[in-house]
Structure 1
């Protein structure tokens, strides 16, 4: 139908809250007994102890209160959603201050200038850089600013606009798909699943490296073929028009100068994520400490930038920039509460365990390998409905993660299956603004993007599913040192013994 627009994630999630509230009137109320799980550091449902309880159907007041309560509702006894939302806002402010200094743009300009005549090397270097942004802070909308820089350079080098779009969209997208400690995917999902981002870190890193190598090889092969024969371009019929349009932009010629101070700021940027990883792994940092780190680094970047004329801006501009950056991510922060509201209604209506019990029966008997691949498939479907990685994490993990206990699979494997599925779908999801925005800037039709990226999508799916399968097969879920968590047994609770 002409003029139809797919509803936003907020609308979808709020409708789901209302639907779930209606279901509390018809789905039988029930609960599992809970027992302390040492590997999780909290209570977990005990298999075989499901029983019916007194129903508590939810009304319209409960629907309206759900997003509010969602922000204060804890994830498996760990951080509250509001802690994560605050962390997201502070990261937004930090990234805005960093961008205001011009350090990132200057760094890209310096790279492009020094690779003249060796432009093919820009592909692995830039894709790795964008993947670093994706795996650490879920680089998405921020990548849109780089299309006007990279595409003209790629066209001048003899490639096409598709190459420039692929470098950015696949680089950042594969990084997000292989998130190691991405605050908007891995951190939120780990909280919702009752695990930490240390759990399963090695597997996620392996998926990231293998997928990135496959993506780089794919784009380099395509770019080399296009340079040798322009007729082999997916957008061969548009290349003349693309040259006229994009070469007016100037590419790297319009970027700020790369100075020593901007180089120091880029080092601080990398150091911030290194410190965060060190703190989380060795010092048991979580939301409060990580928020303080990014706030402190935002101030430090501004203070250091004050020593150089080209990066200097005043105290008032610093505050305004930080607030503007936080405002840009306000939607991400709020969607965490809205998505969590669905789980609040389910919990209050006493149907969460009923649904879990039904899924336990449905997914039972698949074995570890079948189960984890089924989790990947389920999250692929859900990702089309909820393209927001943070929204999907809060929505899906409280239900899917406990299923891992029943299947004898570590919860962090389910977290990895979720984030891999979400990232994979968002490489081509037509409801994802970053995909459609990037293609619009590159003047590339969606069907041509699908034709270009389809072989790589198949390769990435094989990498993900093979990695998940191997991990599920060889890792012992009862070993606290491994990336899996132990499932509680029926003997851990008096109720179960009865």
Structure 2
């Protein structure tokens, strides 16, 4: 008998189907636009514009337009792939992972809370999200070697940073931009967001540790199967951790630490530390230079370094394509002139609501808006200048509007297929999207309910 079980389409197919749906929506949803001043929409200025429905040609071009729009992120991913290709050829990662597992001696589970707290701090302070892409190829093998599955490795990074982003305390790319447009300071509402972060990060750590313990005890409980992933270092595959490999791992670690430091806006956080202000072009150069340095330390020939680096880029080409395709959805909405219309519908839905109803409606409206506009900074720029003034009429402070916005944006971006980080991470771990949804939906429900409670408490205290 043939196996008739439904097979989940690949990430590419899911994203192309979403592109088709968005294109179809441009034929149904009225085209409209706000008046803009310095790139910011002015509330109450929405008006109809000539429709620009997206046809077959636009659908076919959307993925390429998205790739052009996200070329900085895509090139960064390729450079990380080349860097990792050179590093993996040295055997340093295999030796380092084996050494870590041996040193932990059965206490590997403590890597989960420690790493999740670190990623959570990055998420809540500077919105660590796209930058996490570099860590998946590094940490997934560690957790596979420890007897877990790829989902645990992905969760430590994605849910650790994701819980932090949901509760962004001083994240300049979400909270900072939104607070500026809402006319409040970054410190307004920060106590509520700190408490929210403690609760959410604790819940995420508990969730991942419970799943990891279940998989370690009974591998058949894994949603994907133990050993899933493109790299696996087993306990009996010990590679000597020679002095040369230790130097390589030191350069390897220093590269990631420099990446994290270079993107943190210390000045906007009020910290007296030098600001490098790097972003994807500088980070791409960092991984390129580090890859060459590591190849030279390993005494690889010039042509060997070049070939290995290019092969490593090829390994992550699929991830780069997924990121480009997902960005194409936003490009298609903007070209079809329906982004502002969707935003206007939210503006109309909120008119005349009471304080509690208003803040809960803001949160709920941002859930679908985030699917359509995954960029937190882009969504903040488009919507907060409209939402915040409406909040004043409902007796809701701008800080709560900001909290509702960032909570919805962060929550959706953990699970939506339009989020490049989610689809890229799953591609790196070879985890089907439907398995990820099956695994994470309960935690998303916890986060949803907890957010509603925090917002109601915020209104009561305000």
| Aligned-partner Cα distance in 2 for 1:468–1:108 | 43
| Aligned-partner Cα distance in 1 for 2:295–2:186 | 40
Alignment of 1:320 with 2:310, yes or no, is: yes
1:276 deviation in Å?
1.4
443, 447, 459: which one aligns with 1:460: 447
Change (3 A) 1:397 1:253: farther
C-alpha contact (below 8 Å) 1:265/1:301 kept by paired residues: yes
Match of 1:44 in 2: 41
Alignment of 1:12 with 2:1, yes or no, is: no
C-alpha contact (below 8 Å) 2:367/2:412 kept by paired residues: yes
- TM-score, L = length of structure 1: 0.62
1:421 deviation in Å?
1.9
Match of 2:28 in 1: 23
Alignment of 1:330 with 2:321, yes or no, is: yes
Q: Secondary structure at the match of 1:8?
A: helix
1:399 deviation in Å?
6.2
Match of 1:150 in 2: 143
Match of 1:421 in 2: 411
Change (3 A) 1:108 1:66: same
Change (3 A) 1:118 1:378: same
Change (3 A) 1:106 1:403: farther
C-alpha contact (below 8 Å) 1:71/1:337 kept by paired residues: yes
Change (3 A) 1:333 1:369: farther
Gaps of 5+ in 2: 392-397
Alignment of 1:174 with 2:168, yes or no, is: no
Stretch deviating more after TM superposition (318-327 or 258-267): 318-327
C-alpha contact (below 8 Å) 1:179/1:204 kept by paired residues: no
C-alpha contact (below 8 Å) 1:143/1:172 kept by paired residues: yes
1:43 deviation in Å?
3.1
Match of 1:137 in 2: 130
| Aligned-partner Cα distance in 1 for 2:427–2:296 | 40
| Aligned-partner Cα distance in 1 for 2:214–2:5 | 38
Q: How does 1:472-487 map to 2 (within 5 A)?
A: none
1:329 deviation in Å?
0.9
Q: Secondary structure at the match of 1:56?
A: coil
C-alpha contact (below 8 Å) 1:173/1:426 kept by paired residues: no
Change (3 A) 1:243 1:303: closer
C-alpha contact (below 8 Å) 2:140/2:429 kept by paired residues: yes
| Aligned-partner Cα distance in 1 for 2:354–2:238 | 54
| Aligned-partner Cα distance in 1 for 2:175–2:331 | 14
- TM-score, L = length of structure 2: 0.66
Match of 1:254 in 2: 237
Q: How does 1:108-123 map to 2 (within 5 A)?
A: 108-123=97-112
Change (3 A) 1:126 1:32: closer
C-alpha contact (below 8 Å) 2:411/2:444 kept by paired residues: no
1:215 deviation in Å?
2.8
Change (3 A) 1:378 1:297: same
| Aligned-partner Cα distance in 1 for 2:293–2:106 | 35
1:439 deviation in Å?
9.1
1:259 deviation in Å?
1.1
Q: How does 1:95-244 map to 2 (within 5 A)?
A: 95-100=80-85, 101-102=87-88, 106-125=95-114, 127-128=116-117, 135-137=128-130, 139=132, 143=136, 150-151=143-144, 153-154=146-147, 164=149, 167-178=152-163, 180=165, 210-220=199-209
Match of 1:480 in 2: none
| Alpha-carbon displacement from aligned partner over 1:348-392 (angstroms, at most 9, x marks no partner) | xxx655544332121234456544544443455577x77xxx757
